[in-house]
Structure 1
Amino acid sequence: MPPPSFPVVPAGHRRWQLARLLPGLLTGVPAVATAFALHAVIPALPAMTLAVVLGLLAANLPGSGTWVAGRARPGLDFSGKHLMRAGIVVLGLKVSVPDVLGLGWMALLLIAGVVLASFAGTYGISRLFRLPREASLLIATGFSICGASAIGAMAAVRRIRHVDTVLPVALVTLCGTLAIGVLPLLTHPLQLSPEVFGAWTGASVHDVGQVVATAQTAGTSALAIAVVVKLTRVILLAPMVAAAGLQQRFTARRASRRTPDETAGGFVSSDSAFPPLVPLFVLGFLAMVVLRSTGWLSPGWLDAGNALQELLLGMALFGLGSAVRIRTLLHTGSRALLAALASWFLIAVLGLTAALLMIPS
């Protein structure tokens, strides 16, 4: 029996693909560098939020809009999809299981409860505002777990089109930025201690960078607990995505049994059409969590991983932001904006309740 043959991609085709992607990838590099530079000057503005904003500007200014919609589009779409997944893998290096367990079982149960209630509540609110199921799922995932990273993970496992992630990413960025300005103003009226404020921030603000920008206004003790609580939410990304993959696979299997296969006169039974239960990049994320938890990595390696993760997600978020057209967003996004604000308020209330129970006064 002859050995199995595998398709070989011609070198010329690979060069052509790289030539298509290069303009968009090179466009993202100076944009992300600008986002980091602005963050260094104004630390309250997270670099990831700035990357999305710069993408929005690039898409809607007269000169650059033509470029990002034309020659640069393939590379920007590649960034929004594939670099996002790579960034999620490296994000696992931020999560240490001993740090998470150090919160105690009561705190872990409260955080898990906030995530589940936030997810269900946000999905319900989005559907109440008559948003599509896919958009509602992505908004609920991003708001309840870890912002744009969670949206990218859920979109991948549910095979949701890249273009359909743009509005949820814009909304989660907007509401996370809103939290940076609003939550610190409520510290004194609500008479919150720095520790309670930090737990509230970690339990309710969407993106890790936005959590840091918000919590640092109350000092180092608030920042320390905010990061651990937030990263506990991040680690729940894996089981949530796995559950979504299981449900998607079950649905696909049921549909295959009902769909006649015209070529064979029977029913489709191949598993090739089924989505994976857990995508490879989620397994990579879990592997990075385990690696971080072993304590083998030096601070230098962790700093390098953090820089790589921010670069990858910055490129991905710039690519996603560059797909947003303000006119389209204003025309179709009014109901989505109201749903997002209602969800943001719900999560803030849930997070504050959990923080008050988690940190005794």
Structure 2
Amino acid sequence: MKSPGWLPGILVAGVAAAVAFGVHLLLPAVPMLTAAVGLGMIAGQIPAAQRILDRLLKPGIALAARRLLRIGIVLLGLKLSLVDIAGLGWETILVIVLVVGFTFAATLLLGRLLRLPGTQPILIAAGFSICGASAVGAMAAVTRSKDEDTATPIALVTLCGTLAIFVLPVLRFPLGLSDADFGLWVGLSVHDVGQVVATAQIAGPVALAAAVVVKLTRVLTLAPMVAIVGLVERRADARNAALGAGHPDYIERPAAKRPPIVPLFIVGFLAAVLVRTVVPLPEVALGVADTAQTVLLAMALFALGTNIRFRTLARTGWRALIVGLTSWALIASLSLVAVWLLR
């Protein structure tokens, strides 16, 4: 019996996730998800591997990059309880929303000013302001982004998130931050959850607990941000349809069905948050879900990483790098000011 066309790519992504876990065990400072993206980026630069990725492995890699990523985002909701969010207090919740909103808007504006191609401005804005590669993948779904537009934001959030693991702890004592303050700063400013854990754990359990709760609260903003962008996309499609292809203001858009205002996997993510809030789930079940979520996201991020081609990035990548580094500096600075104000 002939195996499904997606099977080889899925198996390779699974092996890559296992290797990424091994890298994390050997180098605890490197989060598993960061290692997975890195492995994908390395594979994507090898000519022989490129040919295999673009042919034999392509169906499975595409499945991992989209379907597995969305399932992983749904399971991510089981990490977050609305009770934990309420425990932060309204001032902290307001600060989180303001930091996310301002960073998103500023990054989007800068990306458009520098004329980044395709949907890169909005994907970079989502990745840096909300939750790294997971946000890039979620926003790519609603904006119907091409793989080449997704690759650069993934590379940038991986680069800056990895730098944060080493840069932020060095600044902790010169800035006079307590363990709790440092955890709040990390949770507000670092991108992926794994990178937050790797950065905050250096300062101990108090910092780690604060960072994780604040970070997961940032993750919750993914749902309304995706909904807003989905609504904008639908209105743009309707406006284009009304103008017609012959109109001078008509904009060529991807030929696909209209994007949902809230994608199904975002609904699943919110449902998972509600389940975690109202249902007393056993620790064993939460542990299994956490492991599954990490493995699925590692496979998905490896797949996304294979789409990154440094040769292509070299042609226009400097503009995207400026946007990414500026956004990283902006969210770190705003978050630090917020920490001082919340003392």
Give the counterpart of 1:229 among 214, 220, 234.
214
Cα deviation, residue 160, structure 1: 1.6
1:243 aligns with 2:193: no
Residues 260 and 24 from structure 1, CA distance in 2 versus in 1: closer, same or farther, beyond 3 angstroms? closer
Query: Alpha-carbon deviations, 1:55-100, whole Å to 9, x = none?
Result: 1111223443332232112211211111111111111111111001
Equivalents in 1 of 2:275, 2:158: separation in Å? 29
Query: Alpha-carbon deviations, 1:14-43, whole Å to 9, x = none?
Result: x87x63211111111111101011112221
The percent identity for this pair of structures is: 51
> Is 1:81–1:162's contact at 8 Å kept on the other side of the alignment?
no
1:167 aligns with 2:152: yes
Runs ≥4 residues deviating over 6 A: none
Give the counterpart of 2:292 among 305, 308, 312.
308
Equivalents in 1 of 2:72, 2:147: separation in Å? 16
Which ranges of structure 1 fall in alignment gaps of 5 or more residues?
A: 1-14, 262-271
Larger displacement relative to structure 2 (285-294 or 58-67): 58-67
Cα deviation, residue 260, structure 1: 7.7
1:117 aligns with 2:116: no
TM-score by length of 2: 0.93
Give the counterpart of 1:345 among 311, 329, 340.
329
1:130 aligns with 2:115: yes
Cα deviation, residue 273, structure 1: 4.0
Query: Alpha-carbon deviations, 1:159-189, whole Å to 9, x = none?
Result: 2223321111111111110111100000111
Give the counterpart of 1:324 among 289, 295, 308.
308
What residue identity is the alignment partner of 1:125? L
Residues 257 and 273 from structure 1, CA distance in 2 versus in 1: closer, same or farther, beyond 3 angstroms? farther
Query: Alpha-carbon deviations, 1:118-137, whole Å to 9, x = none?
Result: 10111122223221351000
Cα deviation, residue 325, structure 1: 1.6
Larger radius of gyration: 1
Equivalents in 2 of 1:101, 1:66: separation in Å? 50
Query: Alpha-carbon deviations, 1:236-258, whole Å to 9, x = none?
Result: 11011111111111222222233
Give the paired residue count: 334
Equivalents in 1 of 2:8, 2:54: separation in Å? 11
What's 1:34 paired with?
19
Equivalents in 2 of 1:67, 1:133: separation in Å? 27
Equivalents in 1 of 2:81, 2:122: separation in Å? 28
TM-score by length of 1: 0.89
Question: Over aligned residues, Cα RMSD in angstroms?
Answer: 1.7
What residue identity is the alignment partner of 2:139? M
> Is 1:59–1:69's contact at 8 Å kept on the other side of the alignment?
no
Cα deviation, residue 354, structure 1: 1.3
Which ranges of structure 2 fall in alignment gaps of 5 or more residues?
A: 247-255
